[in-house]
C-alpha cells in the first residue's frame, strides 16, 4: 500500500483493490490476536498520535494497535497542553513531529486540516477525523464489519441517521460504499441536518443511489442501519438538536419484524440506540468497535 499511498486523508484514496489489501492484512492481524502472538514488525518505529479533539476509540485503538505491533507511541491529547494553544500553526507542529516520529495520526476540529497537514508532513499522515469532513479509518472499520457480518459490500440497502450533515463517519462511509456496485443509501434525519444538495449530487454522480427523508420508520426497510449521534459540537443550535433525540432513537421493539439484518454505530452512543437493542443479534456496534484493532494494525503496518 505504501508504494501507492503516502497519506490517508480521504476514503476516496482507498478504492476496492486497496481496501481489499487492507482487509486481507486486517484478517492476518486478527489471527495474531487470538491466540495472542507477539509481533515486533514496528519495533524500530515511533507513532505520533496528535488528537486535538476528544476521542476514546480512535486514539486508544491506534495506541493499542501500535503496541501490538511493537511500536512506541508519543501523543498529544487536546489543544490546551500543546503549542497550538500558544498560536503555533498546524503546519509547524507537523513538521516538528515529523522529525520525532515515523507516522502521524491527526484529529482536528477543522475540516480540511488533515490535507493541509499532509502537504507538509515528512512522514505518512493518517486522518483520524477532521471536523465534519471525513473519518477514513472509521469507514474502513465499517466496511470491514459489513463484509464480515453479511459477506458482501455491494447490492446493499443502507439507512443512515441521524445527522448526515455533520457526521464525518457518515460522509466517509457513503464515499466508501460508492466504490462498490449497486449500493443504495437512505439518509435519515431532521431536514435542517440533511446533507447539503451539492454533496448529495456528488454522491449521486459517483453512482451511489442516495436519497434523504425525515421519517425514521423508513430505516426499518433497510438491510443495514448505520446511526451516529447528533454532532452537537458542530450544530449551531445544539439546544434545538436535543429536541430531536426522542424522535430519532431506535429501540428493540422497532427492529422486531423489520428488514434490518445489521445495526452499526461508530460510537459513542448517546441517545440514538436504546440499551435494549444491545442483546439483539443485529446489534454489531461493539464487534464493529473491536474491529478497530485489526484495521488500525493493518494501516500502521502498511503505512509506517
Ligand atoms: C466518531 C467521530 O469521532 O467522528 N467516533 C469515532 O471515531 N468512533 C463518531 C462521533 O464522535 O460521533
Give tens-digit pLDDT for 17-31: 999 999 999 999 999
56 alpha carbon – ligand 1 mean position (Å): 9
- When pLDDT is averaged across residues 51-76 and rounded to a whole number, the result is 97
CA–CA distances in Å: residue 177 to residues 52, 185, 208, 226:
28, 9, 7, 12
pLDDT band at residue 3 using 50, 70 and 90 as cut-offs: low
- Poorest-pLDDT segment among 1-5, 39-43, 188-192: 1-5
Q: What phi and psi, each to the nearest 5 degrees, are found at residue 266?
A: -65, -15
Q: Could you read off the pLDDT of 144-173 as tens digits, one per residue?
A: 999 999 999 999 999 999 999 999 999 999
At residue 1, does pLDDT exceed 80? no
pLDDT band at residue 241 using 50, 70 and 90 as cut-offs: confident
Best residue for ligand 1 mutational test, from 53, 106, 127, 268 (most atoms within 8 Å of Cβ): 268
Average pLDDT, the chain: 96
Task: Report the alpha-carbon distance of residue 203 to residue 37 in Å, rounded.
Answer: 41
169 alpha carbon – ligand 1 mean position (Å): 7
Please say whether the beta carbons of 136 and 296 come within 8 A. Answer: no
Query: Cell numbers at residue 6, please?
Result: 503516502
**Ligand 1 atom closest to the CA of 231, numbered from 1:** 12
44 alpha carbon – ligand 1 mean position (Å): 30
Does the beta carbon of 166 sit less than 6 angstroms from any atom of ligand 1? no
Task: Report the alpha-carbon distance of residue 101 to residue 104 in Å, rounded.
Answer: 7
Q: What is the pLDDT of residue 160?
A: 98
Does the beta carbon of 171 sit less than 6 angstroms from any atom of ligand 1? no
Does the beta carbon of 228 sit less than 6 angstroms from any atom of ligand 1? yes
- Nearest Cα residue to 272 out of 293, 254, 290, 291: 254
Q: What is the pLDDT of residue 158?
A: 98
Amino acid at each position: 500500500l505504501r508504494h501507492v499511498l503516502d497519506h490517508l486523508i480521504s476514503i476516496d484514496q482507498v478504492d476496492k483493490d486497496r481496501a481489499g489489501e487492507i482487509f486481507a492484512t486486517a484478517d492476518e492481524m486478527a489471527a495474531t490476536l487470538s491466540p495472542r502472538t507477539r509481533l515486533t514488525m514496528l519495533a524500530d518505529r515511533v507513532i505520533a498520535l496528535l488528537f486535538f479533539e476528544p476521542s476514546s476509540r480512535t486514539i486508544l485503538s491506534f495506541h493499542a494497535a501500535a503496541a501490538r505491533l511493537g511500536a512506541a507511541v508519543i501523543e498529544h491529547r487536546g489543544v490546551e497542553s500543546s503549542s497550538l494553544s500558544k498560536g503555533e500553526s498546524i503546519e509547524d507542529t507537523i513538521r516538528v513531529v515529523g522529525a520525532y516520529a515515523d507516522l502521524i495520526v491527526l484529529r482536528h476540529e477543522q475540516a480540511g486540516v488533515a490535507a493541509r497537514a499532509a502537504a507538509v508532513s515528512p512522514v505518512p499522515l493518517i486522518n483520524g477525523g477532521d471536523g465534519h469532513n471525513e473519518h477514513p479509518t472509521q469507514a474502513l472499520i465499517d466496511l470491514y464489519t459489513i463484509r464480515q457480518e453479511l459477506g458482501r459490500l455491494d447490492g446493499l440497502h443502507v439507512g443512515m441517521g441521524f445527522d448526515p450533515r455533520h457526521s464525518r463517519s457518515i460522509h466517509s462511509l457513503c464515499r466508501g460504499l460508492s466504490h462498490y456496485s449497486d449500493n443504495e443509501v437512505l439518509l435519515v434525519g431532521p431536514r435542517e441536518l440533511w446533507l447539503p444538495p451539492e454533496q448529495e449530487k456528488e454522491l449521486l454522480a459517483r453512482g451511489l443511489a442516495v436519497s434523504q427523508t425525515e421519517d425514521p420508520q423508513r430505516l426499518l426497510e433497510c438491510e443495514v442501519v448505520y446511526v451516529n449521534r447528533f454532532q452537537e459540537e458542530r450544530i449551531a443550535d445544539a439546544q434545538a438538536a436535543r429536541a430531536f433525540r426522542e424522535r430519532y432513537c431506535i429501540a428493540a421493539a422497532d427492529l422486531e419484524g423489520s428488514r434490518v439484518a445489521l445495526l452499526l454505530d461508530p460510537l459513542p452512543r448517546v441517545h440514538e440506540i436504546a440499551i435494549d437493542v444491545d442483546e439483539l443479534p443485529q446489534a454489531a456496534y461493539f464487534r464493529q468497535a473491536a474491529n478497530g484493532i485489526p484495521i488500525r494494525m493493518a494501516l500502521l503496518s502498511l503505512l509506517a
